[in-house]
């Protein structure tokens, strides 16, 4: 049995079990790196970067799943679960209420990015 502690040694493993565990028990500063998504072709040309971390306020388009083709603003990003929640993307529960549908950042593309953060501007100017 594998211990439930974090180790960067799992990154090198080809075992799917250890890869899942690496993502599950990773500390938050490492999980932040899993929250990146590809930029659209226009943004890629403009900023000279391929991907960027997803933040609240960004406009995204969903590429995979039952909401494929839908686009909207990012309502929130859950670092612990590694999911993002988009406005207008909810599913109906059995009791009739609506709940936000969690989407993995790898299944979206950034269409517009909010540049009101100084740190984000620094990230884009780096390259």
Q: What is the residue extent of each domain of the chain?
A: 35-125
Q: What was the pLDDT predicted at 23? A: 87
Q: What was the pLDDT predicted at 3? A: 64
Q: What was the pLDDT predicted at 63? A: 97
Rounded distance between C-alpha atoms, residue 51 and residue 22, angstroms: 22
Rounded distance between C-alpha atoms, residue 66 and residue 45, angstroms: 29
Q: What was the pLDDT predicted at 7? A: 74
Q: Is 35-125 assigned to CATH 2.30.30.30?
A: yes
Radius of gyration of the chain (CA): 16
- Identify the segments of the chain with pLDDT beneath 70: 1-4, 10, 127
Q: What was the pLDDT predicted at 5? A: 76
Q: What was the pLDDT predicted at 13? A: 82
What pTM, to 2 d.p., does this model score? 0.86
- CA-wise closest residue to 84 among 70, 69, 106, 102: 102
Q: What was the pLDDT predicted at 47? A: 93
């Amino acid at each position: 049995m594998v211990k439930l502690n974090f180790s960067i040694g799992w990154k090198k493993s080809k075992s799917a079990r250890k890869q899942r565990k690496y993502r599950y028990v990773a500390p938050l500063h490492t999980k932040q790196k899993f929250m990146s998504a590809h930029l659209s072709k226009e943004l890629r040309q403009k900023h000279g970067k391929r991907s960027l971390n997803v933040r609240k306020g960004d406009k995204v388009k969903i590429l995979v799943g039952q909401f494929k083709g839908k686009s909207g603003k990012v309502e929130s990003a859950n670092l612990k679960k590694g999911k993002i929640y988009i406005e207008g993307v909810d599913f109906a529960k059995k009791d009739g209420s609506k709940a936000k549908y969690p989407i993995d950042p790898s299944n979206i593309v950034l269409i517009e990015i909010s540049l009101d953060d100084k740190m984000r501007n620094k990230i884009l100017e780096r390259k």
